[in-house]
Amino acid sequence: MANLEYQPVRHNHKEFLERAAKRKGFQDAYDALSVEYAVAHQMLAARTKAGLTQEAVAAMMGTTKSAISRLESAGKHAPSLATLKKYAEAVGCRLEIKLVRQR
């Protein structure tokens, strides 16, 4: 059986952004996916706080680790609301969505 104990992967997002920002077109592409990155960040934060691995969340949702990996990858997959609700429940959260008027 897979090891379901959470083991965080070290990642310095600030350093990543500083290095990536030097590449042509990066900032425009990053900005275009800002909502997707925000959702992915929320998902990873919730899973981390719950102390769960992708394997554990997948087992609770009745899916595979690779499917969870795709869900947590910004811009690579557009999950349905039903899938987001299942994910939220698996990590001990509830899903909230709101529309905010643009300025």
For residue 83, what are the domain limits?
26-90
Identify whether 59 is part of a domain: yes
For residue 42, what is the domain's CATH number? Answer: 1.10.260.40
Please choose, from the candidates 97, 59, 92, the residue with its C-alpha nearest in 3D space to the C-alpha of residue 80. Answer: 97
Q: pLDDT value at position 94?
A: 96
Identify whether 12 is part of a domain: no
Q: Is 77 buried (19+), middle (13-18) or exposed (0-12) by CB count in 10 A?
A: middle
Number of domains in the chain: 1
| pLDDT tens digits along 42-81 | 999 999 999 999 999 999 999 999 999 999 987 777 899 9
CA–CA gap between residue 92 and residue 96 (Å, rounded): 13
More confident residue, 95 or 33: 95
